[in-house]
Homo-oligomer: A and B are copies of this chain.
Amino acid sequence: MTITITAFERSPDGGKGLARDTRVRWALEEAGQAYEVRLVSSLAMKEPAHLRLHPFGQIPTYEEGDLALFETGAIVFHIAERHAGLLPDDANARARAVTWIFAALNTVEPPILELVTVRFLEGDKPWSKERLPLVVDRIRGRLGQLSAYLGDADWLDGGFSAGDLIMVSVLLRLRPSGILDEFPSLAAYVARGEARPAYQRAFAAQLAINASKPTAG
């Protein structure tokens, strides 16, 4: 059955790979699954046809035969559960890998997304400049804990898993800020993720769509 995902017609990051379809593309590449992409404009994302697929009007979505899913974490888990390469066979190791998917999305990413709030959504507010260091300190707190846990291991729990795929994707957001480079072992961890051929293919595929577009405005 054909797998179809959705992606931004024009990604807000202009092809830096931070839009969440890149995470799903990466998982599909690791799993060796071909897929098609339907591009959605920011207007179409809020219209009934797309809201039937994604109640919160976002991308990516995932369609395969009768099945329609949304939420990047759920889609990546679904791919990982059904194909080899993203979850270990041992039941306990598998449960721990799933734990890291949740930890990346629920514990590490939320403070990182606050950077977008303070800099862009509230970038014109009088408190933006004074609030930024508080947000950055919360991110540093989380990265310090993650770095202490990772130690000198290559991946979070044994071999590369869907948990690493999501964690690397989450940490990638931090590179432009310079915060990631304050934690050399995490910067190296992210670089290991980016070096994987499956990531390279996923990145190139999203770039091919976005590089050809004139930027908005």
Contacts and interface: CB of A to CB of B under 8 A. Distances in A.
Given A125-B131, A127-B125, A127-B130, A103 B56 contact: yes
A58 B58 CA distance: 30
B127 A71 contact: no
A107 B56 CA distance: 8
B98 A55 contact: no
A75 to B, nearest CB: 8
Given A55-B146, A106-B105, A99 B127 contact: no
A145 interface: yes
A98 B113 contact: no
A74 B98 contact: yes
Interface in A137-158: 142, 145-146, 148-149
A149 B74 contact: no
A178 interface: no
A85 interface: no
Interface string A41-69: 00000000001000111100000001101
Interface string A82-122: 00000000001001101101110111011001000000001
Given A105-B105, A110-B110, A125-B131, 15 more contacts: A56-B145, A57-B145, A67-B95, A69-B95, A70-B103, A71-B106, A71-B107, A72-B102, A73-B102, A74-B98, A77-B102, A105-B106, A106-B109, A110-B113, A126-B127
